[in-house]
Amino acid sequence: MSRNSATDRPMRQASARAIVFGFGFPSCSRPRIIATPAKASAPRIAMNATMMTTFIRSHYGVLLAALAAVAASVSLGAWQLDRAAQKRALQEALDTRAALAPLGAADLATTADAARSQHHRRVRLHGRWLDRFTVFLDNRQMNGRPGFFVVTPLLPDGAAVAVVVQRGWMPRDPADRTRLRPVPAPAGPAVVEGRIAPPPSRLLELAPAAGGVIRQNLDLAAFAGETGVPLAPLSVVQTSGPDDGLSRQWPAPAADVHKHYGYAFQWFALAALIAGLYVWFQLLRPRRQRRH
């Protein structure tokens, strides 16, 4: 039988390779890489590890945030208690000053620093009103009603420096706010009883300060230059006087201690709330869910 060498040789080579491979001898062809299948539980273990890492990170993140919020709230509450202690000491100082004997014109402070130590002291002055320099401070309220504070300098007897006196409150004319009721000036020497106070409080001004009888604020230095009358670095709130139609129901100076106690309670309550929410959502609730 004749054979075709062109076709027979490739067939013999293929058969030889198949026999050798079948007996396990190394093959001359490119080696195959057979992947070993992983265990079925490996993906679940990896997922659990990832979830545990995420839980730990989030748990400690929530813990740190809760601790920071609680610490800040407690700190603010303690600061409010400290402010209350300061205000309580101030109130005691005010009560002590109010109980002291009234000051006279010769005892009044001549500097701003010395005047602060005399605030809320009682005073009794004898002198005469400088009525031509009376001004009306607008947008001032008393018992919730708008009106004016009537301010007039008083020159004490034998003194070269006048004192600005907040004489009382006058209601505003609802028809014409520029219509002012004249304030009667007592004849002869005036006797003023009241308490020493800072200069009249300043209100917000949208335009530059203007002079005139009606004005928004009163700057003592500028007013002294305007009138040519030297003024003491303080004012007197008149608490009693003749029946001149002015209201003198001044609010009593208070330190507002109870306000700070209320703020402190709110901050401490917020700290307790944050701690309670953390314990419930991070500790108790997950434990109950695992039990069920």
What's the confidence (pLDDT) of residue 205?
66
Domain positions in the chain are 108-202+211-240
What's the confidence (pLDDT) of residue 26?
45
What's the confidence (pLDDT) of residue 265?
96
Alpha helices in the chain (DSSP H): 5-22, 42-98, 112-116, 220-227, 257-278, 285-291
Query: 203-220: buried (b, 16+ CB within 10 Å) or exposed (e) per residue?
Result: eeeeeeeeeeeebbbbeb
Average pLDDT (244-267) is 87
Residue 212 pLDDT > 90: no
Average pLDDT (174-201) is 85
**For 181-192, what is each residue's pLDDT tens digit?**
888 776 678 999
pTM for the model stands at 0.64
Residue 24 pLDDT > 70: no
Residue 268 pLDDT > 80: yes
Query: How confident is residue 45, by pLDDT bands cut at 50, 70 and 90?
Result: low
Average pLDDT (145-172) is 94
What's the confidence (pLDDT) of residue 95?
86
What's the confidence (pLDDT) of residue 210?
61
Residue 281 pLDDT > 90: no
Distance CA 92, CA 9 (A): 121
Average pLDDT (170-186) is 83
Q: Which of 2-6, 53-57, 211-215 has the highest mean pLDDT?
A: 211-215
Task: Confirm if 273 and 265 have CB atoms less than 8 A apart.
Answer: no
Distance of CA 158 to the CA centre of its chain: 48
**For 93-136, what is each residue's pLDDT tens digit?**
888 988 899 999 999 999 999 999 899 999 999 999 999 999 99
**For 102-111, what is each residue's pLDDT tens digit?**
999 999 999 9
